[in-house]
Structure 1
Amino acid sequence: MNDLVWAQFRSRAGRLIERPVRQLRGEKLEERAGVLEPPRYRGRRAITTWWRPADRAGHVGCATLGALEAAISLELDPQVTAFASWPVRLSRAPSTDGYVPDFFARLSDGQACLLLRRPSGGAASGDAWGRTMKLVTAAGEQAGWQVRVHEGDDAVMTRNRQRLARYRHERMACPDTARVLREVFARPRPFDGGIQASGLPPLRTAACGLHLIWRGELLIDWNRPFTPGSSLVWTRREAL
């Protein structure tokens, strides 16, 4: 088959395996080590940024700031239950150079998804990117995977996500505090004002409130810079 896509991935023991991608249906690549080794440079260990998804032991690799932005978007997506970096190398023939998608994600409905970060500048419209998209699309069809392209977020939204991602971990949660904050923010009000109105210890309460914003239980306008002293926060109706 001329359109057959081959996949190189790692076994649970870490050994590289090569098979037609259609044989990977059901493989939990989100639980496997990546096939790509980060580039190394003299005088420093690597250019890769390592991102730790909330409350998980492992890290995912991000070769660029754009990939880091994509990882944060996966972390924030309520449909994504787990994801891993550089999960598989795709090619048109076995044992040849190919393309390694940025992430492999598992969705809440059990579906698998490949996430690619669109390259910046002219590379996004060049022939190489077109060939990459044909290869990955064919792989998705043969393996039953969704394919998503991360186009890049607005700069303000990206900064808000990066800032609030510090509060993504469950250690920031407190059910009793969350109950009070959902009542306090039943109508829109500035974040700092709501924390003060709660009557609870401010530092711990603020951390819990920022965690609730990350989880989507408290809402903000992500397209405006988040400033605790003035940005409005309100409760999602379903959380009341």
Structure 2
Amino acid sequence: MAEVVAQFLSPAGRLLEKPVSQVRQERLEERAEVWRPTRYRGRRAIATWWRPAGQARHAGCATLGALEAALSLEFDPQVVSFTGWPLRLAWADSAEGYVPDFFARLADGRARLLVCQTSERATGCWEETSMLLKAAGEQADWEVRVHPGTDDTAAAANRQRLARYRHARLADADTARVLHQVFARPRPFTDGVKASALPELATVARALHLVWKRELLIDWSTPFLPTRSLVWSPQEVR
């Protein structure tokens, strides 16, 4: 199999190039971008930024589909941290390169490349890129995943709605203890918040943080409606 090389920035910002097999120990999720999308009038894609909870660095998203992919990484309990566009991959004998959308670090120390499947990529060029990504994953021992595109399911809509409550500043152990008690059996979200007898506004935000963290459970396959959707705790109340 032909060798794949990676270009990335050092912690000091110097551009480096190495075979991907020698990049396994690099903390690429902490590096700056090697590429950013060109902005020009008439550009159909939308470049924006997503800031993962608990991270100082934003992750670049070239399209709305990539923004959705970033949210899926944020929601994945296996993902510890991630960033956008930190490396460029190429065959060792080629001047052409490809920049994956995201590089993520998993809880077990492994790395994941996440790329977005767009209409522009559904061509012969994408087939060649897929071969490059597969080879890079095998040589660097990286997991490679392809985000399928815009997700219009109820689960995706729920993630988008609840993502605003993902931040750790909303965690509160005392509130969580009470909410696990009131949701010991399934009941509508609004009813449980009222039954807690805690300040409503703060408790709503903290409860939705627990839902995002899946410390309180909902049916993600149906639209989340606070007055109707059932919420329950997986913990046994003693």
The TM tier, using the shorter chain, reads: over 0.9
Residue 76 of structure 1 corresponds to which residue in structure 2? 75
Query: Shift of the alpha carbon at 1:238?
Result: 7.0
Residue 99 of structure 1 corresponds to which residue in structure 2? 98
Residue 174 of structure 1 corresponds to which residue in structure 2? 172
Residue 230 of structure 1 corresponds to which residue in structure 2? 228
Shift in CA distance, 43/21, structure 1 to aligned 2, threshold 3 Å: same
Q: Is 1:130 equivalent to 2:127 in the alignment?
A: yes
Deviations 1:156-186 (A, max 9, x none): 2222111100000111111100100011111
Q: Which moved more, 1:186-195 or 1:32-41?
A: 32-41
Mapped to 2, the partners of 1:136 and 1:236 lie a distance apart of 39
Q: TM-score, with normalisation over the residues of structure 2?
A: 0.92
Shift in CA distance, 5/43, structure 1 to aligned 2, threshold 3 Å: closer
Mapped to 1, the partners of 2:227 and 2:127 lie a distance apart of 46
Mapped to 1, the partners of 2:115 and 2:193 lie a distance apart of 39
Aligned counterpart for 2:203 among listed residues 199, 202, 205: 205
Query: Shift of the alpha carbon at 1:93?
Result: 3.1
Checking the alignment, whether the CA contact within 8 Å between 1:187 and 1:234 is kept in structure 2 is: yes
Mapped to 2, the partners of 1:183 and 1:239 lie a distance apart of 6
Mapped to 2, the partners of 1:66 and 1:130 lie a distance apart of 20
Checking the alignment, whether the CA contact within 8 Å between 1:216 and 1:236 is kept in structure 2 is: no
Deviations 1:110-160 (A, max 9, x none): 11111111224x843x32111111100101111111111122434322221
What is the Cα-based RMSD across aligned positions, in Å? 2.1
Checking the alignment, whether the CA contact within 8 Å between 1:52 and 1:59 is kept in structure 2 is: yes
Aligned counterpart for 1:187 among listed residues 161, 185, 188: 185
Query: Shift of the alpha carbon at 1:14?
Result: 1.2
Deviations 1:12-59 (A, max 9, x none): 111111121111121110010011123223599x94111011122111
Q: Is 1:3 equivalent to 2:15 in the alignment?
A: no
Deviations 1:187-232 (A, max 9, x none): 1111001100111110000000000000010111112111111111
Aligned counterpart for 1:160 among listed residues 158, 161, 172: 158
Mapped to 2, the partners of 1:220 and 1:210 lie a distance apart of 10
Q: Is 1:23 equivalent to 2:22 in the alignment?
A: yes
Mapped to 2, the partners of 1:86 and 1:226 lie a distance apart of 33
Aligned counterpart for 1:196 among listed residues 194, 204, 216: 194
1:159 maps to a residue whose letter is A
Checking the alignment, whether the CA contact within 8 Å between 1:6 and 1:94 is kept in structure 2 is: no
1:129 maps to a residue whose letter is W
Q: Secondary structure at the match of 2:176?
A: helix
Q: Which residues of structure 1 form unaligned runs of 5+?
A: none
1:27 maps to a residue whose letter is E
Aligned pairs, how many?
236
Mapped to 2, the partners of 1:94 and 1:181 lie a distance apart of 59
Shift in CA distance, 52/62, structure 1 to aligned 2, threshold 3 Å: same
Matches within 5 A, 1:48-127: 48-93=47-92, 96-120=95-119, 123-124=121-122, 126-127=123-124
1:207 maps to a residue whose letter is A
Checking the alignment, whether the CA contact within 8 Å between 2:79 and 2:106 is kept in structure 1 is: yes
Q: Secondary structure at the match of 1:157?
A: helix
